[in-house]
A and B are shown apart, each in its own frame.
Chain A
């Protein structure tokens, strides 16, 4: 399309504005190709093309048009982009126009101009506030089956693509002295003064073009236009190295202690983000905040005030002055203040026909406008025009032609962020609006319109005052700079909320289809409190959160209840100020990046072998190592177990937590954190340790080695490594601060491999340098610091989880990969097998060792048969409370073993035990099966679990039942030590 053609199609374009006419942008709205210019929003481009009807309302499917020029937009929500990039409920008023933009209107079936769901509008008398609550109660079963699906299909805003968002999102951290929220006159001035004074300043504005109302009004500052004055300040701000100017950035929340949330839209204004983040969620840490968030205009409630073409008066000026678009060719104004008159004046100056100014105030007109009829003390009763405004009728019966009605009900300061820390705004009668209360978030100061100082000169003066206070707080001196001289006007409002003689429904909240009647009904039914009003009528909910509606609804409620507005209540705000996509909160924490992954030193080697991996906490561990011809995991696991027990197997056990403990009091400290004693452990020996919580329940277990007089190395379970370390630091710092003991994690320092099986000694003898591994020289539970493979430092522990003759050998992590390859090579002659966590689990069940399935937060030492380990000769964590009567009953659960009577049956973990033939009811429950496996060593299924008085019931036959899977297996109670119960192998 040629520039000339595109100009012609944009029939509502006027002269001037901050758009770039040399940069034409083509876009698609409801499959229609249209053009606009760089600097347009989707809304301004739609208005330029005469597109007044842009959507249907949420509930009644009423035709709706653009009402605002900002984030407060209640109607013009579109589905932006297509396919997996589709973004529903996007406000056209803040969507920057890019070439190739595709948008669709929402909430209609069939074409926008003929929505079949508009039948809801005819049913309106039945669909008032509370309708759903009252109507769809009965019959109860119908809710899920009929009502709810039908309502869901008919209501709601836009629709999701159902596909994964292909874009990326990021997060970040910004530190500053002063955060300035809003880049209007007050924000720009504050930022510049703070920047010149040398403070680290962040200036954030939600708009892509900083300047705020300066871009939308015809003010002059020092004989400069507002927009060019703003440009001058922005240029200087951008030149200051200590100032960061952030357009397209919404500060959406004020959190504790000077922390703010900000959403920067990095590539939303581009057709494609090309791998760069769409949005970045910033956490801003600041010493002081200047809130210069401006104000939002309200409407007035009158008959059919939701017709496309009825707009906020300030928005009409924004479109006219900033975007060079007139929303109509015959415009009327309805106002309760002087600001509405400014709209008429600006329109007249652009040679747009203004048919009338209707002013609810019964006073003289503030000024005369050529050819404009002024109706003082008048009110609009209704509007007409099927899909867009054609005519307005006053309560007097007088009527005017108008394709646009600019409505000004006064301005509400954007106090949102002042409320995020429980601050309550206070009512100001002069401007008929809420202004920030005294209880602001710490470090926040409010300037300009956000503080109720609505005129330009007042706003600048307040900015000057606020920034001086901020600089004083920061110990910086304020630069001497006089405020600019401004053209100015006052708002001069006389509160007026709704036209009582309205003909037709009068809308309070466009987005939620709440009318004055709904507010009246809420009042009648006793929902007077603001929070009740909101929830009963849905006033102020959804994407706009009532930015244009809340105060209006409150004021109307106040009228009905005959109270003042402050008596009726205040609106209070929570974050976010405007919607923040969930994707931005997630940032990069999606898919594989949801949480960190930890890899063992043998990971690459195991990958080469085709190992199957399993997540164990953050770790990836080899679960088993399948070999060619093995079609089922059990085949691999059985082979790994049998080969280990027959000869030798190797398993990476690096993931166990390792804590290096040093200090003159290290032994004493361990005596206090472990239930059993460690100060008596000989240097060069390892001992199993059981750690209790203070309530006497088992917390963790593992082995601890004494490497020197004052040096121990503790192992924890993989899962509890972090919490055990934290607990030990608590003990060290909070309970016994004067002990000489120091902790440091050594988990990542050492690559550690279990070498298990009858040939483990022979294999290791090939690896270690000159050390005698004979049973006499290096007995069960010995440990030593040695060297391997010709000088690499290593640690050797003779400990066994499998029940076999076994060792664990540790080398510095950098040698871990080399070590596993060397061990495998050295083991070739023994037919060495690598084994994974499954075989490890099978062997520990065969041996009857308690593990994660057994230590479940209710387990006592006695439960696992270790009651005698809790030494009574010393104090230790959990020592006293482990003696509680309830934990020491004769009928307590004991860990015992189970085998199926019919060996071909499989046991199930989680089964509960009942006496043979007894009913499967809670009263008959005698315990549960905690771990089961197929034992390749025994050739049948085995299990361990807790059974009441288990130790005294060997040989008894019970039913192991699982009501969930409807199974029951007769089991015999046996010792949990299925393999080598006397421990001959591991000591041999």
Chain B
């Protein structure tokens, strides 16, 4: 597999480490009243779509950036690749 790194272009998937669902970016607020439940869901409950999936990859043998890769789990087609830090900021993780 090749991952089209937003800064480096196509790089072999062998350089990357896979983590999982990109929803891991959305770490809940510890002070919210339902924090325990929210953390439980955040950590343990995942969708497992047959199709488009947003997931986290880490370019460990490269520029050390975490990426959000949108990949079709049926075809392996990669629709888009974004820097996770950009995605996190867009999602309001400016704490």
Contacts and interface: CB of A to CB of B under 8 A. Distances in A.
A734 B24 contact: yes
A737 B85 contact: yes
Interface in B57-73: 58, 60, 64-66
Contacts of A422: 75
A33 B40 CA distance: 75
A729 B58 contact: yes
The interface residues of chain A, by DSSP majority, are classed as mixed
A737 B89 contact: yes
Interface string B15-36: 0010100001101101100011
Given A729-B64, A730-B19, A730-B66, A880 B35 contact: yes
B66 A733 contact: yes
Contact of B89 (A285, A722, A738, A883): A738
A21 interface: no
Nearest to B84: A734
A147 interface: no
Interface stretch (A250-258, A799-807, A936-944): A250-258
A881 B25 contact: no
A735 B2 contact: no
B1 interface: yes
Contacts of B2: 256-259, 285
B58 A738 contact: no
Contacts of B95: 736, 738
A874 B25 CA distance: 19
Contacts of A421: 76
Contact of B56 (A255, A694, A734, A738): A734
Nearest to B32: A880
A660 interface: no
Interface string A578-592: 000000000000000
A737 B1 contact: no
Contact of A880 (B19, B36, B64): B36
Contacts of A255: 1
A734 B40 contact: no
B93 A881 contact: no
Nearest to A695: B43
Contacts of A695: 43
Nearest to A732: B85
Contact of B40 (A442, A735, A736, A881): A881
Contact of A735 (B17, B35, B83, B88): B88
A92 B77 CA distance: 41
Given A258-B2, A734-B85, A883 B27 contact: no
Contacts of B85: 733-734, 737
Interface string B79-95: 00001111011000111
A961 B66 CA distance: 47
B93 A257 contact: no
Contact of A257 (B25, B64, B76): B76
Looking at B39, B42, B75, the one whose CB has the most chain A CB atoms below 10 A away is: B39
Contact of B39 (A256, A285, A694, A737): A694
B30 A734 contact: no
Contacts of B39: 694, 880-881
A465 interface: no
A436 to B, nearest CB: 17
A880 B39 CA distance: 7
A881 B1 contact: no
B27 to A, nearest CB: 5
Contacts of A722: 60
A737 B93 contact: yes
A369 B17 CA distance: 66
Contacts of A257: 1-2, 10, 76, 78
Given A736-B93, A881-B39, A883-B36, A726 B58 contact: yes
Interface string A879-895: 11101100000000000
A287 to B, nearest CB: 10
B3 to A, nearest CB: 8
Contacts of B17: 726
Contacts of B40: 881
A729 B17 CA distance: 12
Most buried by B among A722, A733, A879, A884: A733
Nearest to B78: A257
A331 to B, nearest CB: 50
A734 B64 CA distance: 12
A730 B36 contact: no
Nearest to A874: B30
A880 B44 CA distance: 14
A256 B83 CA distance: 22
Nearest to A739: B95
Given A735-B93, A737-B85, 7 more contacts: A258-B2, A729-B58, A733-B65, A733-B83, A733-B88, A735-B88, A875-B30
12 contacts: A257-B1, A259-B12, A283-B12, A730-B56, A733-B65, A733-B85, A737-B85, A737-B88, A875-B31, A880-B28, A880-B35, A881-B43
Task: Please list the 6 inter-chain residue pairs (A to B) with the smallest Cβ-Cβ separation, ordered nearest first.
Answer: A257-B2, A875-B30, A737-B85, A733-B85, A256-B1, A737-B88
Interface of B: 1-2, 10, 12, 17, 19, 24-25, 27-28, 30-31, 35-36, 39-40, 42-43, 56, 58, 60, 64-66, 75-78, 83-86, 88-89, 93-95
